[in-house]
Amino acid sequence: MMTIADLKNWFSKHRSEIKEEYFRFLRFASISADPAYRDRCEHCAQWLAEFMRQGGLQTELISTPGLPLVYAEDLSAGPQTPTLLLYGHYDVQPIDPAELWISPPFEPTERNGSVYARGAVDDKGQILYAIFAVLCWKKMGRSLPVNVKFCIEGEEESHSTGLFQMLEILGKKMRADYLLVVDFDQFDRDMPAVSLGGRGLVSLEVTLIGSHTDLHSGLYGGVAYNPNRALVELLAKLWDAEGRVQVPGFYDDVVDVPEKERSMFACRYGKEDYAKACGIEAFGGEKGRTLHEANCFRPTLELNGISGGYTGAGMKTVIPAAAQAKISCRLVPHQNPETIGRSIAQFLRQNAVPGMKIEVVQHEGDSAFRGERTSKLTQAIAKASSEVAGVECRYILSGASIPIVPELVKATGAQMVGMGYGLIDDEIHAPNEHFDMHRFEQGFLTVGRALALL
């Protein structure tokens, strides 16, 4: 049996070597969004595959239509034993605005006990502690109690394009009983959490076209219907005064989750936290729903951008030829992204000013996902993380989406659980992303110990 003490011991003995590998991993500028960084992403994948191979895992660098996938496994526990698939990503977000970084984003630097670098948390720090947790079992000469597989992709920050296209082929290879997504947050400092789901997403772009060209607002004023006006009138019809989305069928598949079930998930932030963290004083959502409910259990419809006409310096008295809006929805379980997208498109077409030309583009969406609270992996992660922190772990839901997760669940047949030691102020996706070795170690201990509990 592997205890927390065994793992702690190993970690402290190998601390400097662990940190060295962590820093090496962080030095690759593996920005997946920018094609100019393609070779650096590939080098990062090669390094990671080699690192895992040297750790004693059967490792493959798998080409995809996008960036390569690092796949590794240890199936020595045998076919009678459950299989755990760990998911993470080696790609990172772009660094802009670059001038706001206090130290260079790809030269990991320690300040006040934190490691500053792009990817320090998301997701290099997180997936690396999970890799070390598995390798440590092998290095200590213990046989792994379950079969272990790793799927570490290079395009999580770029819609997982390559992995999506490979799932049909790779699904069988990655078949597992449990899927551990190591890309989530903890509840609060020294307060661990198990993440049991996220929302789905669907997005659309709508354009209203009133004329061939921009028009003089005097010569054509009172004649032409202004597309900007038509657009804001149209968009305003999307909600009623209570904040309920007016698109027919929008809530048809939404299950009203009773308070008792909702309260099994911890609420991380209240109005004061949002006001303090980002200055929010006006709150959206449907009337009569709590913030927790609105953020985790209800779908949303948001206007992500509106444009049309002249927005430069000074005035230009113009009736624009066209106006556009970008719309997206966060979806809850049972809502079908394609159906919801189609309903919104139809609503927009039916409610636009007669005669105004309307174009709607619907992008591919993804579904919400949920883990099982009673699954063995959920219980193992909950118990391990509670032991590590010395406090009871929380169960949480995320309002955000990880598009690949529901598809991975489908392709591999596994039950999902999310874990992580990120915090809201780690500045992931922003300048000065940082993580600390204390939380890195907590993550390592949690995964290492959970293996023993599976």
**Binding region for Zn ion (CB under 5 A):** 122-123, 183
Q: In sequence order, which residues have a C-beta less than 8 Å from that of residue 222 and are 6 or more positions away?
A: none
Residue nearer to Zn ion on the CB measure, 123 or 177: 123
Residue nearer to Zn ion on the CB measure, 74 or 123: 123
CB of 344 to Zn ion, least distance (A): 28
CB of 63 to Zn ion, least distance (A): 22
CB of 156 to Zn ion, least distance (A): 5
CB of 429 to Zn ion, least distance (A): 9
CB of 312 to Zn ion, least distance (A): 37
CB of 123 to Zn ion, least distance (A): 4
Q: Which residues pair with 330 in a beta bridge?
A: 201, 300
Residue nearer to Zn ion on the CB measure, 238 or 402: 402
CB of 42 to Zn ion, least distance (A): 19
CB of 272 to Zn ion, least distance (A): 28
Please check whether residue 380 is in contact with residue 133, taking contact to mean a CB–CB distance below 8 angstroms: no
- Going from the C-alpha of 167 to that of each of 23, 150, 207, 405, 438, the distances in angstroms are 31, 14, 34, 11, 35
Residue nearer to Zn ion on the CB measure, 150 or 347: 150
Residue nearer to Zn ion on the CB measure, 357 or 429: 429
Residue nearer to Zn ion on the CB measure, 194 or 454: 194
Residue nearer to Zn ion on the CB measure, 164 or 250: 164
Round to whole Å and give the CA distance between 32 and 155.
6
- Going from the C-alpha of 448 to that of each of 115, 133, 234, 388, the distances in angstroms are 22, 5, 54, 11
Q: What are phi and psi of 279, to 5 degrees?
A: 75, 20
Helices 4-13/124-139 angle, 10° precision: 100
CB of 101 to Zn ion, least distance (A): 19
Residue nearer to Zn ion on the CB measure, 18 or 402: 402
Round to whole Å and give the CA distance between 215 and 228.
13
Residue nearer to Zn ion on the CB measure, 123 or 155: 123
Residue nearer to Zn ion on the CB measure, 74 or 157: 157
Round to whole Å and give the CA distance between 237 and 352.
10
CB of 106 to Zn ion, least distance (A): 17
Q: In sequence order, which residues have a C-beta less than 8 Å from that of residue 133 and are 6 or more positions away?
A: 7, 443, 444, 445, 446, 447, 448, 451
